[in-house]
Amino acid sequence: MTRSHDFRPRIISRRSMLLTSAAAAGTAALGGLAAPAQAETSLANAPYPTIRNRSAWNARAPRSTPQTVPGAPTYIVVHHTATANQTDYSLARAYSLSRGIQNWHMDNNGWIDSGQQFTISRGGHIMEGRAGSLLAVDRGYHLVGTHVANYNGVAVGIENEGTYTSVGPTSALWSSLIQTCAWLCYFYNRPTSAIIGHRDLNSTQCPGDQLYSLLPILRSDVANYLANHSLSLPATGLTGSEVPPYPQVPANEPLRAYEHGPALGEDDLNADLG
């Protein structure tokens, strides 16, 4: 398996990240935005994984601007894409995956853009999904996506390439998922218990029995990853209305690429379908 040299997480300040992203994008995605002055010191040890922005994978423009919500989302939701567990771990394949998901969401589902905020390929490449997702995390607000019905206003979603009903993810994907969750938990100041599966909120098998069974280990690995950077998270878990409903998992859910359970509900804040 080949991995690009810049896959490794970079420990850089928020300001550095913005400048790097703007330079890499060469577009207006993050260009011209100044980071808050306090970020350089307070986030000096923040683990910031390499995340490919939308310019990198040649995303289409969204049809409209998604809604935003002040403050952090309650949940960090782990999905699988319900696509094949293919063995092309290249960056080119990762970009193709992002384009495929976006095309499906916009052309088949009629949404304004990619539904999820972030995507991780089987090669471990992390990509921005919905337009504005990187900036939202950096600034500490929630950009509403479409990936978990009736909870989109309080949940940021990570789509992991593959189908994990009977096998687990690649080590590269797993490592990137740890880093992505650590970054989200830290920047949003959420406890590791905020990391849940799609099935915890909606009636679906997503993210598959195997990946779902790994979530306790993921939470532990995220905590250890941050501890190794001398960072910590809130110790309190989800309480009260934050506790997921844990609906019954359907026994015979049909598998279809890019479809992994209810993604849009009548209680959602977003206006993806106009």
Query: Contact residues for Zn ion (CB under 5 A)?
Result: 79, 198, 206, 260-261
The smaller minimum CB distance to Zn ion, of residues 21 and 180, is found at 180
C-alpha span between 216 and 211 (Å, rounded): 10
Smallest distance from the beta carbon of 198 to Zn ion, in angstroms? 3
Smallest distance from the beta carbon of 205 to Zn ion, in angstroms? 9
Around Cβ 265, how many Cβ atoms within 10 Å? 14
CB of 109 closer than 8 Å to CB of 93:
no
User: C-alpha angle with apex 113: 107 to 118, nearest 5 degrees?
Assistant: 125
The smaller minimum CB distance to Zn ion, of residues 49 and 261, is found at 261
Smallest distance from the beta carbon of 260 to Zn ion, in angstroms? 4
The smaller minimum CB distance to Zn ion, of residues 81 and 193, is found at 81
Instruction: Give kind and range of the element (H or E) at residue 155.
Output: strand 155-160
Residue 25, φ and ψ in degrees, nearest 5: -70, -40
C-alpha span between 158 and 87 (Å, rounded): 20
Smallest distance from the beta carbon of 13 to Zn ion, in angstroms? 33
The smaller minimum CB distance to Zn ion, of residues 62 and 261, is found at 261
The smaller minimum CB distance to Zn ion, of residues 138 and 159, is found at 159
C-alpha span between 184 and 49 (Å, rounded): 10
42, 74, 228, 273 from 13: Cα distances, Å: 9, 25, 17, 37
Residue at 177: amino acid letter: L
Smallest distance from the beta carbon of 20 to Zn ion, in angstroms? 30
The smaller minimum CB distance to Zn ion, of residues 196 and 206, is found at 206
Smallest distance from the beta carbon of 95 to Zn ion, in angstroms? 21
Smallest distance from the beta carbon of 206 to Zn ion, in angstroms? 3
Per the DSSP assignment, residues forming a β-bridge with 259 are 256
Instruction: Give kind and range of the element (H or E) at residue 77.
Output: strand 75-80
C-alpha span between 118 and 123 (Å, rounded): 15
The smaller minimum CB distance to Zn ion, of residues 116 and 192, is found at 116
